[in-house]
Every structure is written in C-alpha cells, then in structure tokens.
Structure 1
Amino acid sequence: MKIAIIVPMEIEAEYYHKYFHSGRKEMFGSTTFEHFCVNHNDLYIGLSGIGKVRAAMNLASLLSNVDIDLIFMTGTAGSLQEEVHKEDLILADSFAYHDAHNILAGDYVEGQIPGEPAKFELNSSARKQFAQFLQENNVEFKEGLIVTGDSFIGSQKQKDEIKQNFAHALGVEMEGAAFAQVAYHFKKPLIALRAISDNGNQDANGDFDHFAQKVGAKAAKIICTYIEKMN
C-alpha cells in the first residue's frame, strides 16, 4: 500500500522525522516528500505549506505522480466550541470552506464553491477502521465538521462570524478542505486527524507555537503507531 502523510508546518512534522529514518527524498509540486518503507508499505511524508492553494497544489502533484492508496492529513486546528479544548483530537467527518460565500451566485450554501459539494464528506472504510483503532486503544477523540479558510483565527469576533454559518463546526484551520477537495476529485480516501492547539480567540497567537508542537506530536504518534500495525 502507498500511504501519504501530509502536514502544513515543520513544527507539526517534527515527530515523523524522529520516528522514521533513512528515507529518500523526492520533489512533488513545491515540496519535498520523504519516502520510507514501513511494514511493507510505501510511506510518503511531506510538508504542504500553509494555506489552501499550497495544500491543494502539493497534494495534487503527489497524487498525479504516485498512485497513493490512502492519505493521512494531520496537524493542528483552533477550537470553535466551548467543549473542544486544547490538546483534544478531532477526527474530521467533513470539511467546508468558511470563507466561501456564494449564495448570491445560485443555489449554493455557505461554504460551497460552485461546481463542488456543499461539504466534503469523509466516509471511507479506511476512516472507519482508523476510528475503530482509536476506540480500541482508548484514545479520546471527537468527530465532526472542521472548516477551512486562508486566515489565522485569533479573535472572538472572527470565531463568532464563522459560527453564524457553521454553528456545529468543531475546529478551524487553513488547509483541510483543500486536501479534502483534492482527495475527492482523485477518488482517494482521506483520514484527517487535527489536534487543538488554541481556542481561536485573542490568546491564539501566544498559544499556537507551544501547543502546535506538543499536540502535533500527539497526533503523529497515533498515526505512526497505526501505520506500523497495518498489514
């Protein structure tokens, strides 16, 4: 099986570099992917870069050149709900764009790009197996919608504006819906595990670097353990 792990930032990817060694490097898009063999699986680990365009470009370039069977997206997100706390894990069941406003252009809903689904649903058997693995290993996680936009959310005002259109969204970040859109068009299963690094409010900037590294390692350890147990 060929497996891709893609994360936006280096501080979110540090754990993978400590866990896997002796990989060869290959360039896809504007980023370098490290290529490992783990338990008879080919593993490609790369940094997408920050934001929707770089995320889509680099994942699409990989998928155009390598017949990837499964995509893991990991990294961090900000909380949108009071019951979602720092260090919580969110296994996304869907993604939408919180900065796509096209209801005046036709029969669309908030978050929908014309010609695309209203939300990108993640309902593959691979995702269900991963959720079962988390449950069997007593890993606490929440499931739900995560929304994506090209802005860092660092104020209560920004959070409130997003929640007007996405009242039940659990988290907010800058790449996930772009990954999901690419995976949808390439017909590849995507497993998205985001760890909460901040509350998406005025304290977010001060919290982010510290918690991003900590919770990024938490999510990465779980994914690495799962991959090592895959047949």
Structure 2
Amino acid sequence: MKKRTIGIMGAMPEEIEGVVALLANPEVTKMGKRSYFTGQINGIDTVVVFSRWGKVAAATTVTTLIHEFKITELLFTGVAGAIHSDLKIGDIVLGKRLLQHDMDARPLMEQYEIPLLSKTYFESDTVHLAIAAKAVQKVFENKALHTVIATEDLMQFDIAQPKLVIGDIASGDQFFSGNEQKQGLATQLPNVLCVEMEGAAVAQVCYEYEIPFSIIRTISDVADDNSHIDFPAFIQKISSKYAAEIIKNIFEQI
C-alpha cells in the first residue's frame, strides 16, 4: 500500500500562503522555478506549491508532484470566471467534470476530445468530491464565513450568501474578459459553470497517472465586459482565506 501524500496546488502565490501556514515541520525544495513546501497537516504528509498560470505550467507542476514527491491525491484551488448566470462573485464551484475548451483537433476527432484518450471530460471521483463539498459547506454554514473573512471585506465584493455549486469547469489558455467570449462558450458548452486556465490540464495528468483529484474554484468575476474586480484585493481578502479554510476542513475529514 502506498504511503499517503497529498499534493496541494494554488493558482496564485497568495492562495498557498495560508495553506503553507497549516504545515507542521515545513521545509522547502526549489525545482523548475517553483518552491515546493513539504510538511504535515493533521499528521498527513503534504506538499504545497504555486502552480503558475496556464495549462502547461499546471501540468508540469502536478507531474513533478507525482514523480518527485510521490503524491497519492491532489487538491487544486484557484479563482475562476463565471459562465453560468446563476453564479455570483464569492460562490465556489467544485469540478465534477473538467474539459479543455480550447482543444480542437477537428477533423481528426471531435471538438474538445483529448487525442489518444478518446475522452472529452475528466471526472472527479465521488468520494473526494463529497469530502470537498462538505468542507466548503462548513465554511458557508452557521455564519462561519464571518469568522474567517472580515464583514467589510465581504461587503466590498458584495458577498452576502455565497453558495456551493458542483458541475462542469472549462479550462483553456485564455483569459475571458468579453461578452462575446463568454456567450460563445456558453452556447457551445451550455453545462459549463465557470472558466479558468489550469483545472482540466491537472485533471488529465491525474487521470493518466490514476491520481484522485479535487478542483476547487472561487468565482472572482463574471468573465465579461464588466469584469472590473480588484483582483489583488480579492485574492488577498477572499479567495486566499477560502483556500486555507477549505483545506483545513478537508484534512479534518480524512
């Protein structure tokens, strides 16, 4: 039986700071222009790293976690732009299925299909999905959110009653900041909840190496012409706090 080692990737350096603070006996290993922080959370060996942005960077990072640090499961946290109209800033999406919206090898194969794998979507397993969902709900229930994030910070981003949604996440090497982009994706992939730049690449690598994964995304903007949010402030005040609290709650269950 393999020794359990959990890898945690964050899409922003600020998002991993709070998670690194959870580590007991922290050490750092520098490799491939990345700093891998190792230690234990609740007695479980853990490796935390900033993935950098985009599919290639994320795939490189998770591959290093698998080969060099021998992780047995993977958690990924980051922000995303809302595609579905029901999502608001501060909501959290858990990826049930991940796909690459910029994969298109037609006419050799269907649009979005990953070459050689005959797959369009990569699915998170139900056990890890349930654990992550419970961890998120614990943050949102019984006003726990106000003990994690200052009320004035929640008000700054008009976050009142954030919700958890589980479903499809699309990834690609594009930042969505226009109505035409958003509407085009929503038309082609009506089940997609949000869009980001790493999750499906991470999911593909994990699928190929048979590593269970959880992709956890905080909605930071609505991915259109009105996406004028103060990203540095949102990362510092909201999503980084979410990330640390959700990770802490996950480790309390395992």
Alpha-carbon spacing, 1:209–1:111, altered in 2? closer, same or farther (3 Å): farther
How far did 1:15 drift? 2.0
Alpha-carbon spacing, 1:207–1:201, altered in 2? closer, same or farther (3 Å): farther
* Residue 228 of structure 2 is aligned to residue 216 of structure 1: no
Q: Any idea what SS the aligned residue of 1:23 has? A: strand
Counterparts of 1:199 and 1:9, CA distance in 2: 19
**Residue from 156, 164, 170 that aligns with 1:147:** 170
How far did 1:133 drift? 4.5
Q: Please tell me the residue identity of whatever aligns with 1:226.
A: I
What are the superposed Cα offsets for residues 50-82 of structure 1, whole Å, 9 maximum, x if unpaired?
000010011101201222122100011010011
Alpha-carbon spacing, 1:206–1:126, altered in 2? closer, same or farther (3 Å): closer
Counterparts of 2:16 and 2:37, CA distance in 1: 12
How far did 1:105 drift? 1.6
Preserved contact between residue 22 and residue 41 of structure 2 (Cα < 8 Å): no
Report 1:1-231 matches (<5 A). Answer: 1-20=4-23, 22-106=25-109, 108=110, 110-116=111-117, 117-135=119-137, 139=141, 140-213=163-236, 214-227=238-251, 229-231=252-254
Q: Which moved more, 1:196-205 or 1:134-143?
A: 134-143
Preserved contact between residue 74 and residue 216 of structure 1 (Cα < 8 Å): no
Alpha-carbon spacing, 1:128–1:209, altered in 2? closer, same or farther (3 Å): same
TM-score, length of structure 2 as denominator length = 0.82
Counterparts of 1:160 and 1:187, CA distance in 2: 34
Alpha-carbon spacing, 1:207–1:198, altered in 2? closer, same or farther (3 Å): farther
Q: Any idea what SS the aligned residue of 2:9 has? A: strand
How far did 1:151 drift? 1.1
Counterparts of 1:74 and 1:149, CA distance in 2: 16
Counterparts of 1:129 and 1:16, CA distance in 2: 17
TM-score, length of structure 1 as denominator length = 0.90
Q: Any idea what SS the aligned residue of 1:100 has? A: coil
How far did 1:132 drift? 4.0
Alpha-carbon spacing, 1:223–1:134, altered in 2? closer, same or farther (3 Å): same
How far did 1:10 drift? 1.0
What are the superposed Cα offsets for residues 36-61 of structure 1, whole Å, 9 maximum, x if unpaired?
12222001000110000010011101
Q: Please tell me the residue identity of whatever aligns with 1:180.
A: A
Preserved contact between residue 2 and residue 68 of structure 1 (Cα < 8 Å): yes
Q: Which runs of 5+ in 1 are unaligned?
A: none
How far did 1:142 drift? 0.4
How far did 1:125 drift? 2.1
How far did 1:160 drift? 1.2
How far did 1:21 drift? 5.8
Alpha-carbon spacing, 1:18–1:65, altered in 2? closer, same or farther (3 Å): closer
Counterparts of 1:78 and 1:220, CA distance in 2: 20
Q: Which runs of 5+ in 2 are unaligned?
A: 142-162
Aligned-residue sequence identity (percent) comes to: 27
Q: Any idea what SS the aligned residue of 1:160 has? A: helix
What are the superposed Cα offsets for residues 16-36 of structure 1, whole Å, 9 maximum, x if unpaired?
244446510123443111001
Counterparts of 2:221 and 2:248, CA distance in 1: 24
Q: Which moved more, 1:4-13 or 1:51-60?
A: 4-13
Preserved contact between residue 182 and residue 223 of structure 2 (Cα < 8 Å): yes
Counterparts of 2:241 and 2:139, CA distance in 1: 17
Counterparts of 2:37 and 2:190, CA distance in 1: 38
Q: Which moved more, 1:86-95 or 1:29-38?
A: 29-38
